[in-house]
Amino acid sequence: MPSVTKSLTVGAALSAVRGRVPGYEAHALLGALLQTDRAALLAHPERPLTPEQADRFAALVGRLAAGEPLPYLVGRQAFYDRDFFVTPDVLIPRPETELLIEEALAFARRQPDLTMVDVGTGSGALAVTLAARLPAARVIATDISPAALEVARRNAEQHAARVDLLPGDLLQPLIERQIKVNLLLANLPYIASGDLPALAVSRHEPRLALDGGADGLDLIRRLLVQAPAVCHPGARLLLEIGADQGAAALALVLAAFPAASARLLRDLAGHDRAICADLA
């Protein structure tokens, strides 16, 4: 890669990395470094960089080219209708998880007195988005990782969203406090342990947020054991799952709640992506 440390302008720095990383990602890296946006970079290619900025940009490009995810390098990721702070302590929010937001909002329209919980909140993308859009609702988020809860706290503050952040394993914090909910959302780890080593995602994102046990459904099983203790009659469950887990996960939900009305939700690619269950 040509050195960018001798080319102390925005345009020269971007030209120096052309072909090594996608142009949009190069713009995102340099924009984050300079705290500006892509439009400003394009409008002012003559803007000078200090040698320190140029060296930092070259280092970031090297990490991106080696496979490190762009959101971790810039510290941000877009999700639904807002932008979230992310670190390697949390899973990077993904567009397919927005399906849970749509189903939650549809349920909220007919549930005026709403208490919800986002289990294993990670960055807080689900909880914060819903709290911001439903200011009258009580929104609770749990996570076993203190580092993840700190990321979620920062995102709640950034978006002026009221979220009760509770440390603990799955629904145990609610059980201990005798809290009941009308809506339960969870994007829990659902990758089978044996599949993880072969997946690129496992090289950088936290294993705690990925490893779902032997068949990927261990945490969902545990959640479903706890769920009756915290769900009001008529509550809705929204569980993200892997594309090949639809039938097995649906069977688990119906075994835990035989009278529930449950259905599989598919993402834009047509893959099974979530279960929506309305409890009796």
Longest CA–CA span in the chain (Å) reads 69
C-alpha 170/C-alpha 220 separation (Å) is 10
Contact 183, 117 (CB under 8 A): yes
What string of DSSP letters covers 101-168?
A: HHHHHHHHTT-SS-EEEEET-TT-HHHHHHHHH-TTSEEEEEES-HHHHHHHHHHHHHTT---EEEES
Q: Can you give the pLDDT at residue 1?
A: 44
pLDDT tens, position by position, 16-52: 999 999 999 999 999 999 999 999 999 999 999 999 9
What is the DSSP secondary structure assignment for residue 91, as one 8-state letter? Answer: P
pLDDT tens, position by position, 80-101: 999 999 999 999 999 999 999 9
pLDDT tens, position by position, 156-194: 999 999 999 999 999 999 999 999 999 999 999 999 999
pLDDT tens, position by position, 233-263: 999 999 999 999 999 999 999 999 999 999 9
pTM for the whole thing?
0.93
Query: CA 163, 91, 235, 228: dihedral to nearest 10 degrees?
Result: -100
Q: Is the model's pLDDT at 4 over the cut of 50?
A: no
Q: Can you give the pLDDT at residue 190?
A: 97
In the chain, where the domains are located? 10-66, 77-278
Q: Can you give the pLDDT at residue 112?
A: 83
Percent over 70 (pLDDT), the chain: 98
CA proximity to 237, closest of 209, 216, 265: 265
- Rounded to an integer, the average pLDDT of 102-107 is 97
pLDDT confidence tier of residue 10, bands split at 50, 70 and 90: very high
Q: At what angle do helices 218-226 and 246-256 cross, to 10 degrees?
A: 20
Q: Can you give the pLDDT at residue 8?
A: 78
Q: Can you give the pLDDT at residue 5?
A: 43
pLDDT tens, position by position, 225-239: 999 999 999 999 999
Q: Can you give the pLDDT at residue 90?
A: 98
Chain mean pLDDT for the chain: 95
C-alpha 70/C-alpha 74 separation (Å) is 6
pLDDT confidence tier of residue 136, bands split at 50, 70 and 90: very high
pLDDT confidence tier of residue 70, bands split at 50, 70 and 90: very high
From 3.40.50.150, 3.30.565.10, 1.10.10.10, 3.40.50.300, which CATH number describes the 77-278 domain?
3.40.50.150
